Homo-oligomer: A and B are copies of this chain.
Amino acid sequence: MRTQAKNKPKAAAGKPARRPEQGMDKRELILAAALDEFSQNGFALARLDDVAKRANVAKGTIYLYFKDKESLFQELLRTQISPVMGMLEAVLAGGKEAKPVPLRELAHRVADLFVEQVIGTRRKDIVRLILTEGPRFPKLAEFYYREVISRGLGAFRARAQRAVKEGELKSDTLVRFPQLIVAPALTAIMWKSMFDKFEPLDAKALMKAHIENLFDKEERS
């Protein structure tokens, strides 16, 4: 009945064995199904029976790969976020080249990355899940702060600091509140999930206008 390629799940906390024999392995099937289910219903209302159904897997199988519902959830968020963090750090590292990228340009690149790699993909649902479930998952909030927020904002803040010292920035606003760069992006994600059907929002144009607002002022000396 079940035409499955053989695979060998290790213990529940194992790392993914990448062997896309005849399609995704079970672990990835489950993660994909979990993304659908969690982003449609949120953590509390998501049913593991439905995750199993979506993944064409028995419920028990989920517990061969993940310790419990919460582990599945957190693992999902982690695996989806990591690649974007890599990209973000690559973009921010661009400022260390021989010819330094102006902060203004860097900000545009960060905004583009966010629009294209997050808002424009299913990953926006991941961010939405972090925003909506974070307050109820202290562990998740802490992980996310440590691995994403403090690293991302920290790198940007350091770069902004340098821009102030070198006269590229007149005010230290972005050093004190690097959150200002991404605030409209987060708002755009929530807007899209709630109000887009009443009033569509062009996230790319929003971010462009926003970054220009932040830097136009600085350009005139």
Contacts and interface: CB of A to CB of B under 8 A. Distances in A.
Interface of A: 41-42, 44-45, 128, 131-136, 141-142, 144-145, 149-150, 173, 176-177, 179-180, 182-184, 186-188, 190-191, 193-195, 198-199, 201, 205-206, 209-210, 212-214, 216-217, 220
Given A132-B132, A216-B217, A217-B217, A190 B184 contact: no
A145 B198 contact: yes
Copy total for this chain: 2
Q: Which of A44, A150, A194, A198 has the most CB of B within 10 A?
A: A194
Contacts of A214: 213
B190 A206 contact: no
Return the 8 tightest CB-CB contacts between A and B, nearest first: A44-B44, A217-B217, A183-B187, A132-B132, A141-B194, A183-B184, A183-B183, A135-B193
Given A44-B45, A128-B135, A150 B190 contact: no
Given A41-B136, A42-B136, A179 B206 contact: yes
A164 B179 CA distance: 28
A206 B180 contact: yes
Nearest to A192: B135
